Amino acid sequence: MGPEENWKRLIEIYNHSKALHMLAEEIDPEHETFVAPLIQHRDTLDHILRAKAGELKMLPDTDDEHANRNLDKALGHAYRAFFDVADWLGVLLREKALAPLNGRTTECIQAVMPEYFTSWRRTLDDAAERLVEVRSAKDVGDGGALIQEVDRYVVILDEMHRIVKEIRAREGAASDWISRDGQKSKLQKRTDWTIAIAAGLLCVAVGAVAGVLLPKFFP
């Protein structure tokens, strides 16, 4: 792979990493910075500068392939940075999707977001499995295959992010449903108590009447 192709892929991978890193920092409840990809970006920059220094004849004993070798190494670090960020974001998105559902009953979820059971949960589970598959199958030395896997990662993460936004958008409806369901429960309890009291009074009345009439008919 020549220098021009290396440069194009470096720019593409870095832009993906930067966008995902910003999203991850926004989603992370602690708003912390994940250090691992930053270290990879530092090493990427180091090899880029070595490549440029070789081109400018600022380093001794460099051959014509010096720049390209360093660009290859820079690209390897850029890929590692991307996968570090993507893995981190995948975990955050899954947690972000499931957190609003804690404490919600199945009836509540079914009422306000039926898609969760029909497709969203399956998509989240499948996404987690696909991320593991892509990560385990990747080979930093195979740039041609890696660029395709990067694209697959981005598609998966975009789908997970879409589901997170859908679930978050229904949080208000879930709270309203719980409030209405609570009122229904209180009303049902009052109704049950009323019926129970009425039944008890009826039994007392029947008993009293029976106590008066039965001796007359059965002295």
Q: DSSP letters along 96-126, please?
A: HHHGGGTT--HHHHHHH-THIIIIIHHHHHH
- How far apart are the C-alpha atoms of 219 and 57, rounded to whole Å? 128
Q: Average pLDDT in the 136-150 region? A: 65
119 with 210, same domain?
no
* Per-residue pLDDT, 186: 44
- How far apart are the C-alpha atoms of 57 and 218, rounded to whole Å? 125
Domain with 18, as residue range(s), is 3-169
Place of tokens 């509540």: 108
Any domain includes 85: yes
216 with 128, same domain?
no
Any domain includes 88: yes
**Burial group, residue 89, by CB count within 10 angstroms (0-12, 13-18, 19+):** buried
- How far apart are the C-alpha atoms of 31 and 92, rounded to whole Å? 11
Q: Average pLDDT in the 109-132 region? A: 84
Give the pLDDT band (50/70/90) at residue 187: very low
Any domain includes 176: no
123 with 37, same domain?
yes
140 with 74, same domain?
yes
62 with 133, same domain?
yes
Any domain includes 175: no
* pLDDT surpasses 70 at 218: no
Any domain includes 174: no
214 with 130, same domain?
no
User: Phi and psi for 58 in degrees, rounded to 5?
Assistant: -90, -5
165 with 200, same domain?
no
118 with 147, same domain?
yes
113 with 187, same domain?
no
10 with 85, same domain?
yes
- How far apart are the C-alpha atoms of 62 and 70, rounded to whole Å? 11
Is residue 184 a contact partner of residue 118, using CB atoms and an 8 Å limit? no
110 with 191, same domain?
no
Percent of the chain with pLDDT over 70: 76
- How far apart are the C-alpha atoms of 90 and 197, rounded to whole Å? 56
* pLDDT surpasses 60 at 152: yes
201 with 159, same domain?
no
Give the pLDDT band (50/70/90) at residue 175: confident
Cα angle 152-141-58, degrees, rounded to a multiple of 5? 120
User: Phi and psi for 56 in degrees, rounded to 5?
Assistant: -85, 5
Number of domains in the chain: 2
